C-alpha cells in the first residue's frame, strides 16, 4: 500500500507541475481561434507574444506565468477508490513536491501573521472540493488560481425584484473594471443560486468546464453575454481588440423565492485547469491535454 501511495503522490505531483507549464487543449485552441480572428495589429502582436511565451515555457520547462497561484483541487472521488482515505494527505504532499520540482512560486501566506509556508500548503490549502461518485476511479481537476484572476471573485445576493438585470449589470461592471486585473482574454464563470456561497462555488465550477461546451439549458444566454462582453473591446492584455473573453460559462442552481444570488469567477488567458482520470490500478489518462503523458 505504501508503494501505491508513493506512486499516486508522484503522479499527482507531476500532474500539478505539468499543468503549470502547458495550457489545456481547449484553451490553446480558443486562443488560436481568437488570434486568427483578430483584426488589430497590436492585439495580434500580443497573441504572438502569448504563443511565444507558451513555446518558451515548454522549451525551458518552466511555468508559463510567474503567478502559479494557490492550488485548488476538485475531486470526483469514486467511493471504492483504494486510496480514498489517504487522498487528502496525498494531495497535500503532491503540492509540496510540485512546489520544489516545477518550481511553483510559494504563495500560501498565513492570514494574519503573513508568514509564507514556503511550500504552498497551509490551513485549508490546497483547497479540496469533494464530490463522491460511485465507482473505483478518480477524476481530478487541478486549478492554479492566480492572485489577479479567479481568486478575487465576487458574490452578491440580490433580491428577486432586482433580478437578472442587476445581476447582468454587476457582471459587466466587474468585468470591465476589476477583472482587468486578470490578463485578458478572460474566461467568465457565472454562478446563480440561492446564497452567496452556492453562487460563488458554482461560478468557480463554471471555470472547470471545457471551452466549447455549453450549458445545455442556457446556450443562448451564454452566447449573448459573451457577445456583449466582446463588444466592450477590452482585447488581449486589456489593450483593446476584438475579443474580451474566451467564453462565458453559467452554472445555475434553484433559488429560494426570496433570493437571487450571483457569483463571478474570472479566469485569465493562462487558464491552468487540468483534468486527469485515475483508475483503481493507478493508470491514468489526461483528459484536458490529449495525447500527453506525465
- How far is CA 4 from each of CA 78, 245, 261, rounded to the nearest angstrom? 17, 42, 43
> What residue is closest to ligand SF4 based on CB?
146
**Shortest Å, Cβ 67 to ligand SF4:** 4
Q: Looking at 11, 27, 183, 234, which residue binds ligand SF4 (CB under 6 A)?
A: 183
C-alpha dihedral (176, 179, 180, 181), degrees to nearest 10: 150
Question: Burial level of 114, CB count in 10 A (0-12/13-18/19+)?
Answer: exposed
Summary count for the chain: helices (H), strands (E): 7, 9
Counting residues that bind ligand SF4 (by CB under 6 A) gives 9
Q: Any contact of residue 108 with ligand SF4 (CB under 6 A)?
A: no
245-252 and 186-193 strand pairing: parallel
Nearest to 121 by CA among 102, 99, 103: 99
Piece of 30-38, 145-153, 197-205, 224-232 that binds ligand SF4 (CB under 6 A):
145-153
266 binds ligand SF4 (CB under 6 A): no
Contact criterion met (CB below 8 Å) for 120 and 71: yes
Task: Classify the C-alpha dihedral 88-91-92-94 as positive or negative.
Answer: positive
Burial class of 87 by CB neighbour count within 10 A (0 to 12, 13 to 18, 19+): buried
User: Minimum distance from CB of 94 to ligand SF4 (Å)?
Assistant: 21
Segment near ligand SF4 (CB under 6 A); pick from 132-140, 141-149, 200-208, 253-261:
141-149
Site residues for ligand SF4, 45-74, by CB under 6 A, read 65, 67
Write the interaction track for ligand SF4 spanning residues 210-239; mark x where CB under 6 A is met and - where it is not.
------------------------------
Confirm or reject binding of residue 270 to ligand SF4 (CB under 6 A): yes
Q: Does 182 help bind ligand SF4 (rule: CB under 6 A)? A: yes
Enumerate binding residues for ligand SF4 (CB under 6 A).
Answer: 65, 67, 146, 148-149, 182-183, 268, 270
Amino acid at each position: 500500500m505504501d508503494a501505491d501511495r508513493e506512486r499516486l503522490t508522484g503522479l499527482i505531483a507531476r500532474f500539478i507541475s505539468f499543468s503549470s507549464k502547458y495550457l489545456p487543449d481547449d484553451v490553446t485552441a480558443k486562443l488560436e481561434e481568437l488570434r486568427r480572428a483578430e483584426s488589430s495589429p497590436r492585439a495580434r502582436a500580443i497573441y504572438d507574444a502569448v504563443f511565444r511565451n507558451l513555446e518558451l515555457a515548454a522549451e525551458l520547462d518552466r511555468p508559463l506565468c510567474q503567478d502559479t497561484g494557490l492550488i485548488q483541487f476538485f475531486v470526483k472521488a469514486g467511493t471504492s477508490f483504494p486510496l480514498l482515505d489517504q487522498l487528502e494527505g496525498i494531495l497535500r504532499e503532491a503540492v509540496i513536491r510540485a512546489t520544489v520540482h516545477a518550481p511553483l512560486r510559494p504563495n500560501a501566506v498565513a492570514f494574519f501573521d503573513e508568514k509564507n509556508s514556503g511550500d504552498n500548503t497551509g490551513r485549508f490549502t490546497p483547497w479540496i472540493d469533494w464530490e463522491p461518485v460511485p465507482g473505483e476511479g478518480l477524476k481530478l481537476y487541478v486549478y492554479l488560481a492566480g492572485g489577479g484572476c479567479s481568486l478575487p471573485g465576487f458574490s452578491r445576493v440580490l433580491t428577486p425584484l432586482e433580478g437578472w438585470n442587476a445581476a447582468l449589470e454587476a457582471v459587466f461592471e466587474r468585468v470591465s473594471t476589476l477583472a482587468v486585473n486578470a490578463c485578458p482574454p478572460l474566461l467568465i464563470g457565472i454562478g446563480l443560486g440561492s446564497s452567496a456561497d452556492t453562487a460563488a462555488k458554482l461560478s468557480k465550477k463554471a471555470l472547470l468546464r471545457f471551452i466549447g461546451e455549453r450549458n445545455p439549458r442556457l446556450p443562448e444566454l451564454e452566447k449573448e453575454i459573451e457577445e456583449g462582453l466582446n463588444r466592450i473591446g477590452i482585447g488581449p492584455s486589456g489593450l483593446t481588440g476584438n475579443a474580451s473573453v474566451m467564453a462565458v460559462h453559467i452554472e445555475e442552481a434553484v433559488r429560494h423565492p426570496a433570493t437571487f444570488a450571483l457569483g463571478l469567477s474570472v479566469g485569465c488567458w493562462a487558464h491552468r485547469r487540468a483534468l486527469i482520470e485515475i483508475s483503481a490500478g493507478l493508470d491514468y489518462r489526461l483528459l484536458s491535454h490529449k495525447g500527453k503523458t506525465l
